[in-house]
């Protein structure tokens, strides 16, 4: 302590002693009640004063020592790992499975390095959100266990994102999922939903280890396991519950990671430095924007932009549905400046087109001026699938289109698909009393199509032995062949030509 601080502290002591109230003769119980001592979290209670009165430098030294013992550690964290350690609050699990996972992680230092490097984009935000909710900060390590901090991870159960929400649970926590975006991958939305869910589970079970088991196994499964243990008079602790092997390893994995972060030197691990500073900043957008242009204006690699905005399913950012994007901290201001100065044309070269009717992808592509392959790729349309009526497809934005995508379209993001109708040509000899209507009914097609294929009026009759052309789907053709073969009156009059039949689509 320098001279200035010593003089200041001595003056403060003199002022406090001068301001002390004189003893009074009041008999009020309130006045006689002893003063309560408030101790900061982590600070030791003040020691009782005993012994002779100290004076001069001795008194000053004693006051300094006592003051130091009453003040909590307010020093800034060295890095994000240090900040995280200060918020560890879950009871530790000490089992053989924890030791097993510790050995597994420490035997693979390159894995720890790769995972922590991937996490640096998101970890500060998660730790800060946990602190704001007064939740244990070791929960920030959970995405290591869930997805290896990969926001694009998808499990066999169709769980997505770094917090691994299945579709139904994601919808329960307001995570939008449509053709244009999947909020289960969104950094901010999925973190909010995950912490909401964990808080809910902790409220249900009153135990963080059981809450984590429920996050992995399902709240219903954990509830039934607890009820079964209680009925049998057994322990309801996490380690004693019967559970699937994945859940049995779930908390030990998190505990092992917590132990390594708490004392990396003890495990021979060097954690990559992660500064105690936000990695990204949010930027509001007010007009539609191409993903590639956004990355260019922010002057960041496209891969890095997508890593911060992984919820986008299409090459277009729709301001009506995604009004903010995430950018590296130092690039956010740069992006705003570059966007304001941008004058090379529209900021969006894509828009949304709503299919007026069910049609083949090739026909839809012709209407919007793009190749079928590109239409399928951009909109994730599988081969041999048709575009359903009302489908909202991302297509090139025509020069005359000046308005952005409307919110009712951007929020819907609907794409319906139907199997492509591959028709086979059948040559059929008409029998007595065969009409356009009867042939259509036999092959389960409309009379108008039969009339069109044979260039006849819809209510016309065929002459006995007349060659009739019918186009039917593969399954329908097989079913009708079977039906015809069982009908003695016509079984000799149906012949399928051996040559490869053409693909026919009825005229609109």
On whether both 122 and 178 belong to a single domain, the answer is: yes
Q: Which is it for the CA torsion 104, 107, 111, 112, positive or negative?
A: positive
Which H, E and C letters describe 336-383, residue by residue?
HHHHHHCCCCCCCCEEEEECCCCECHHHHHHHHCCCHHHHHHHHCCCC
> Does position 37 have pLDDT exceeding 70, yes or no?
no
Phi and psi angles of residue 80, each rounded to the nearest 5 degrees, phi first = -70, -30
61 — pLDDT class (breaks 50, 70, 90): low
> Does position 39 have pLDDT exceeding 50, yes or no?
no
> Does position 235 have pLDDT exceeding 60, yes or no?
yes
Exposure of 79 by Cβ count < 10 A (0-12 exposed, 13-18 middle, 19+ buried)?
middle
Give kind and range of the element (H or E) at residue 259. Answer: helix 245-262
CB 141 within 8 A of CB 261: yes
How far apart, in Å, are the Cα atoms of 48 and each of 42, 45, 370, 446? 18, 9, 84, 99
In-domain check, residue 28:
no
In-domain check, residue 331:
yes
On whether both 134 and 172 belong to a single domain, the answer is: yes
pLDDT at 398: 93
372 is catalytic: no
Across-strand partners of 471? 425
pLDDT at 26: 35
How many domains, the chain?
5
73 — pLDDT class (breaks 50, 70, 90): low
On whether both 123 and 173 belong to a single domain, the answer is: yes
On whether both 402 and 473 belong to a single domain, the answer is: no
With 0.85 as the threshold, say if the pTM is over it: no
Residue 71, token pair as written in the block: 């003040």
How far apart, in Å, are the Cα atoms of 407 and each of 323, 412, 453? 11, 8, 44
Reduce the DSSP state of residue 39 to 3 states and report it.
Answer: coil
Task: Taking residues 224-251, report their average pLDDT.
Answer: 96
In-domain check, residue 35:
no
> Does position 31 have pLDDT exceeding 50, yes or no?
no
Per the residue annotation, which of 146, 219, 299, 461 is the catalytic one? 146
On whether both 355 and 385 belong to a single domain, the answer is: yes
- Concatenating the DSSP letter of every residue in 63-82 gives HHHHHHHHS---PPPSSHHH
CB 163 within 8 A of CB 147: yes
On whether both 62 and 124 belong to a single domain, the answer is: no
pLDDT at 423: 72
pLDDT digits (tens, 9 = 90+) for 357-383: 999 999 999 999 999 999 999 999 999
The CATH number of the domain holding residue 428 is: 3.10.350
16 — pLDDT class (breaks 50, 70, 90): very low
pLDDT at 428: 84
On whether both 90 and 6 belong to a single domain, the answer is: no
Instruction: Give whichever of 297-301, 398-402, 488-492 has the largest mean pLDDT.
Output: 297-301
pLDDT digits (tens, 9 = 90+) for 455-493: 999 899 999 999 999 987 654 444 444 333 333 333 333
How far is CA 83 from its chain centroid?
Answer: 25
pLDDT at 445: 86
CA-based nearest residue to 189, from 306, 304, 325: 325
In-domain check, residue 386:
yes
CB 423 within 8 A of CB 434: no
Instruction: Give whichever of 55-64, 123-132, 454-463 has the largest mean pLDDT.
Output: 123-132
Residue 128 CB contacts under 8 Å (≥ 6 apart), including other chains: 278
Gyration radius from the chain CA atoms: 36
pLDDT at 444: 85
């Amino acid at each position: 302590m320098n001279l200035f601080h010593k003089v200041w502290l001595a003056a403060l002591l003199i002022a406090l002693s001068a301001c002390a109230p004189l003893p009074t003769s009041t008999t009020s119980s309130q006045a006689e009640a002893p003063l309560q001592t408030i101790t900061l979290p982590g600070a030791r209670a003040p020691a009782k004063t005993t012994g002779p009165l100290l004076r001069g430098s001795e008194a000053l030294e004693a006051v300094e020592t006592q003051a130091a013992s009453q003040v909590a550690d307010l020093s800034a964290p060295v890095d994000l790992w240090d900040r995280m350690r200060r918020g560890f609050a879950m009871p530790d699990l000490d089992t053989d499975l924890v030791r097993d996972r510790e050995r597994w992680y420490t035997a693979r230092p390159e894995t720890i390095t790769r995972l922590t490097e991937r996490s640096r984009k998101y970890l500060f935000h998660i730790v800060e959100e946990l602190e704001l909710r007064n939740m244990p900060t070791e929960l920030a390590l959970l995405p290591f266990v869930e997805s290896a901090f990969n926001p694009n991870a998808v499990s066999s159960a169709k769980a997505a994102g770094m917090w691994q929400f299945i579709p139904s649970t994601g919808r329960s926590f307001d995570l939008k999922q449509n053709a244009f975006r999947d909020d289960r991958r969104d950094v901010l939305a999925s973190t909010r939903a995950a912490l909401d869910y964990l808080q809910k589970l902790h409220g249900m079970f009153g135990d963080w280890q059981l809450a984590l088991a429920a996050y992995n196994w399902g709240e219903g499964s954990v509830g039934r396991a607890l009820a079964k243990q209680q009925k049998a008079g057994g322990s309801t602790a996490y380690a004693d519950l019967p559970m699937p092997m994945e859940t049995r390893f779930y908390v030990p994995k998190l505990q092992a990671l917590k132990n390594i972060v708490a004392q990396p030197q003890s495990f021979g691990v060097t954690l990559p430095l992660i500064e105690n500073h936000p990695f990204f900043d949010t930027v509001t957008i007010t007009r539609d924007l191409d993903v590639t242009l956004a990355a260019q204006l922010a002057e960041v690699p496209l891969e890095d932009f997508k890593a911060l905005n992984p919820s986008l399913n299409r090459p277009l950012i729709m301001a009506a549905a995604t009004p903010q994007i995430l950018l590296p901290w130092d690039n956010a201001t740069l992006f705003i400046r570059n966007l304001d100065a941008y004058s090379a044309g529209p900021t969006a070269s894509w828009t949304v087109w709503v299919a007026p009717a069910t049609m083949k992808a090739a026909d839809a592509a012709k209407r919007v001026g793009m190749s079928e392959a590109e239409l399928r790729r951009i909109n994730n349309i599988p081969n041999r699938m048709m575009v359903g009526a009302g489908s909202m497809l991302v297509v090139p934005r025509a020069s005359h289109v000046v308005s952005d995508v409307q919110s009712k379209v951007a929020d819907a993001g609907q794409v319906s698909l139907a199997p492509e109708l591959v028709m086979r040509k059948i040559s059929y000899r008409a029998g007595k009393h065969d009409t356009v209507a009867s042939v259509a009914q036999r092959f389960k097609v409309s009379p108008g199509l039969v009339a069109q294929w044979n260039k006849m009026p819809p209510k016309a009759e065929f002459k006995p032995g007349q060659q009739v052309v019918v186009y039917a789907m593969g399954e329908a053709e097989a079913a009708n062949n079977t039906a015809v073969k069982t009908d003695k009156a016509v079984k000799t009059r149906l012949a399928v030509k051996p040559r490869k039949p053409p693909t026919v689509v009825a005229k609109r």
